[in-house]
Amino acid sequence: MSLATLYENDPVYQQAVQQLKQSASILGLPEEIVEVLRHPEKLVQVRITVKRDNGKVESFIGWRSQHNSALGPYKGGIRYSENATAGETVALSMWMTWKNALAGIPYGGGKGAVRVNPKTLSARELEELSRKFFAAIAKEVGPDVDIPAPDVYTNPQTMAWYYDEYSKLVGYNAWGVVTAKPAELGGLAVRLVSTGYGVALGVREAAKKWLGGLEGKTVAVHGFGNVGGHAARYLSQWGATVVAVSDTSGVVYDPKGLKVKEVMEVKEKTGRVIDYKSGDVKVFTNDKAIFELPVDIIVPAAIENVITRENAPNIKAKLVVEGANGPTTPEADEILHKKDVIVVPDVLANAGGVVMSWIEWSHNRMGCWLTDDEALARLDKMMTQNFNKVFDEWEKKYRQYPMRTAAYAIAVDRVVKAMKLRGWI
């Protein structure tokens, strides 16, 4: 059986390949190069066991996909999700290749996943699962080889377990093997807010260009975790009116604006945004209802494939800024483009996390530190410059296509050039 049968039929993988092929045909990339780029350089599948608190043994499947290393070591998060598949993991690793190339940081693309609903595990079981998964992929990762970080349902505590497990195996403190570690273990505290901060910067820049600024613009945020929560908080601090947020429990919507800090406190306490109560707040139990609300800006910040050909025609927002990876299908991208809805693509908009990871990793290797404010200022500068570079390229050459095409044009070109220089193609 070929390795590719593990991922080729997966819809998220097919979405990533379709995006690659569309850009390749516009860029005139030969078919044989697309054939190389559509596969990961390496895909590892592991099965690990966890002894549950009730004494039973349960096994879990997981993957690390290493898509491309032409520009540097593989880099990208690890997610825990009951819907994780090999195909989704490969797609996410391919998107990391484009994201890192576009951000101009010295990394290739990687991603990992364990198929598990972490909400069903105790803290002890979660620690055992995390340590065993990292031990199982330990030979494939390393500070100069492949550097994981958090993604959906993983966090700095997970990174601390990975870091400790790997350090024990290699016999030294291997700070550079993962990023987004707790500050006490060589992490940068601001990494936690950086993806959301970067997404908010993307919204700020896009609102300047297309909506006459952020002040008073209404925003709906799908997903209220690390990315969505911090993006909503910064946006409301910077003058936007966040009117709706969602999580797996549903949507809370107040046309006059939500008190984002209070929603965060409620979420922290009960785990559900729908427990937030205030004057005119409405609740929808279907989280997808958020996409059809009358708002200026939508920030999808949960999972893939949520803006589709079914709901794209009903979107009323003028701007979609992708906090999540792969939230918009290629068909929806096309529909939104025809409706003049601007979609700021994931590979540009949510790069704040990995850029801060690069700052953390560089610190780990050099033994020097920027302050949190200096690190955020650096991130602001890089994200703003990258936004403007993609915007200029789009305006100059690709305005008849969605903005994603311009981002891919820059990123794919950088990867292909590096592969040529190295003599790979």
Tokens read off for 304: 């893939």
308, 331 in Cβ contact below 8 A? yes
Q: Of 149 and 403, which CB lies nearer to ligand AKG in the complex structure?
A: 149
Query: With binding defined as CB under 6 A, does residue 113 bind ligand AKG?
Result: no
Burial pattern 113-134, b for ≥16 Cβ within 10 A else e, equals bbbbebeebeeebbbbbbbbbb
Rounded distance between C-alpha atoms, residue 346 and residue 329, angstroms: 12
342, 400 in Cβ contact below 8 A? no
**For residue 228, is it left (φ>0), alpha (ψ between -120 and 50) or beta?**
alpha
Minimum distance, C-beta of residue 372 to ligand AKG, in the bound complex (Å): 17
- 80 contact partners, CB below 8 Å, separation of at least 6: 113, 114, 116, 117, 118, 129, 152, 153, 154
- Residue 355 amino acid letter: V
> Choosing among ligand AKG, ligand NDP, none, which partner's interface includes residue 76 (Cβ < 5 to 8 Å by kind)?
ligand AKG
Query: Which spans of this chain sit near ligand NDP (rule: CB under 6 A)?
Result: 150-153, 195, 223-228, 247-249, 287, 301-303, 323-325, 350, 353
Part of the chain binding ligand AKG (CB under 6 A), chosen from 72-80, 121-129, 138-146, 368-376:
72-80
Part of the chain binding ligand AKG (CB under 6 A), chosen from 75-83, 217-225, 305-313, 366-374:
75-83
- 277 contact partners, CB below 8 Å, separation of at least 6: none
Alpha carbon distances (Å) from 146 to 64, 109, 346: 10, 9, 21
Minimum distance, C-beta of residue 101 to ligand NDP, in the bound complex (Å): 15
Minimum distance, C-beta of residue 149 to ligand AKG, in the bound complex (Å): 3
Strands 108-114 and 74-80: parallel
Q: How many CB atoms lie within 10 A of CB 51?
A: 12
Minimum distance, C-beta of residue 323 to ligand NDP, in the bound complex (Å): 5
> Choosing among ligand AKG, ligand NDP, none, which partner's interface includes residue 153 (Cβ < 5 to 8 Å by kind)?
ligand NDP
Site for ligand AKG in 338-357 (CB under 6 A): 350, 353-354, 357
Q: State which residue has the least CB distance to ligand AKG.
A: 77
Matching residue, tokens 């499947």: 61
Q: Which of 42, 111, 132, 417 is catalytic?
A: 111
> Choosing among ligand AKG, ligand NDP, none, which partner's interface includes residue 75 (Cβ < 5 to 8 Å by kind)?
ligand AKG
Site for ligand AKG in 163-192 (CB under 6 A): 179
325 annotated among ligand-binding-site residues:
no
Residue 184: exposure state from Cβ atoms within 10 A (0-12, 13-18, ≥19): exposed
Active site residue 111: yes
Minimum distance, C-beta of residue 378 to ligand NDP, in the bound complex (Å): 17
Distance, CA of 366 to chain centre: 27
Tokens read off for 164: 């400790």
Q: Of 95 and 398, which CB lies nearer to ligand AKG in the complex structure?
A: 95
69, 76 in Cβ contact below 8 A? no
Query: With binding defined as CB under 6 A, does residue 77 bind ligand AKG?
Result: yes
> Choosing among ligand AKG, ligand NDP, none, which partner's interface includes residue 227 (Cβ < 5 to 8 Å by kind)?
ligand NDP
83 annotated among ligand-binding-site residues:
no
Q: Which residues bind ligand AKG (CB under 6 A)?
A: 75-77, 99, 149, 151, 179, 325, 350, 353-354, 357
- Binding positions are 75, 99, 195, 226, 357
**Catalytic positions, written as ranges:** 111
